[in-house]
Amino acid sequence: MVGTGLGARRGILIKNGEALERGKKIDVVVFDKTGTLTEGKPKVVDVIACRADPNADEVLSLAASIERLSEHPLAHAVVLAARDKNLPLKEVSDFVNLAGKGVRGTIGNVAVLVGSVRLLLEYGIPLIHCLERVEKHEAEAKTVIGVAHDHEVVGMIAVADTVKEDAKEAIERLRAQGIETAMITGDNRATAEALAEQVGIDMVFAEVLPQQKAEHVRKLQEEGKRVAFVGDGINDAPALVQADLGIAIGTGTDIAIEAGNIVLVKGHPLKVIEALALSRMTFRTIKQNMFWAFFYNVAAIPLAALGLLNPMVAAAAMAGSSLSVVGNSLRIKRRKLL
């Protein structure tokens, strides 16, 4: 099919021609937050002790002891922060990973829970002492992880991730083209909304569990919208498949790349605009080519049949028509799409 090699020079991998066709008629683009709009390399920016004992370092050490057993990017950030401070890590038993929520385990016979504020509330652990600091961080689009020890909150860890530098421009350009934008994340609502505001996103789906992402895409489709989903993580794969057009971030997980129809090799959100423009341009070119190919033949075949066209000229016209079509297609390669 025409076009699958067209994106190569632009850092856009088009896995099949059908992806281009789907891309030309998109109503809404849904972005995953972490790793797609943000760099996905979170860093601990604040550790808050809710009481005098344990202190902030001890809170971080408790959390890192358990997070060491998790693969989550937030877990890596916590472990790294503890390591930077040379904090001792403790022995953990009964480790449980609570997907999309946090982790839990036992340290020295005491239950320790590390995860989202919502997770702590689910376990019936209120935040009383720390609430103010939590709200301040969330309003700055930071993710706050709660640390509970023996069913009581002992501290909070604020983690910040940088927004990709072209995220805002990508959203603005989509809006200018009349395409709606949405963000979907497992992170809490306040953090998600603060980030959405920073980049100018229209719709926010927050506190979404990994298995519910595809469900949200399906709901948008049921409203009659054609949906493109842009994501990077294992938990994005079902949504990438469900969407009319799945766009995977090339720096993300293999499963997401496998599930996408288009891969943005370096993971820049702005490439989404280029991929959609490439789709439209490809189909416009196909229509132009169809027109010219028909035009030549409809005009020249009757002339040739009536003997009004010298066979040499007819042969040259035949080759010329093919060349013009190929030449017109090659123009796409050089055209600037942004």
**Site membership for ligand ADP, residue 43 (CB under 6 A):** no
Alpha-carbon distances of 252 from 53, 68, 142, 226, rounded to whole Å: 40, 21, 21, 24
Select the residue interacting with ligand ADP from 3, 23, 42, 100 (CB under 6 A).
100
Tell me the Cα Rg of the chain.
27
Select the residue interacting with ligand ADP from 22, 101, 216, 271 (CB under 6 A).
101
Beta-carbon contacts of 333 under 8 Å, excluding residues fewer than 6 positions away, are: 6, 9
Least distance in angstroms from the C-beta of 234 to Mg ion: 9
Least distance in angstroms from the C-beta of 283 to ligand ADP: 33
Residue position matching structure tokens 């980049």: 199
Applying CB under 6 A, the span of 94-102, 122-130, 319-327, 330-338 interacting with ligand ADP comes to: 94-102
For 57, other C-beta atoms within 10 Å of its C-beta total 16
Select the residue interacting with Mg ion from 13, 34, 37, 244 (CB under 5 A).
34
The residues pairing with 178 across neighbouring beta strands, listed in sequence order, are none
Catalytic residue ranges: 32
Which is closer to ligand ADP, CB of 236 or CB of 274?
A: 236
Least distance in angstroms from the C-beta of 267 to Mg ion: 11
In whole angstroms, give the CA distance from residue 222 to residue 325.
39
Select the residue interacting with ligand ADP from 186, 250, 267, 269 (CB under 6 A).
186
Is 201:31 a contact under the CB 8 Å cutoff? yes
Applying CB under 6 A, the span of 54-62, 97-105, 126-134, 252-260 interacting with ligand ADP comes to: 97-105
> How many residues in the chain?
338
Q: Tell me which residues in 302-331 interact with ligand ADP (CB under 6 A).
A: none
**Site membership for ligand ADP, residue 231 (CB under 6 A):** no
In whole angstroms, give the CA distance from residue 137 to residue 265.
32
Q: Give the x/- contact pattern for Mg ion in 219-258, rule: CB under 5 A.
A: -------------xx-------------------------
Segment (H or E) for 65: helix 56-67
In whole angstroms, give the CA distance from residue 243 to residue 275.
16
**Site membership for ligand ADP, residue 74 (CB under 6 A):** yes
**Site membership for ligand ADP, residue 261 (CB under 6 A):** no
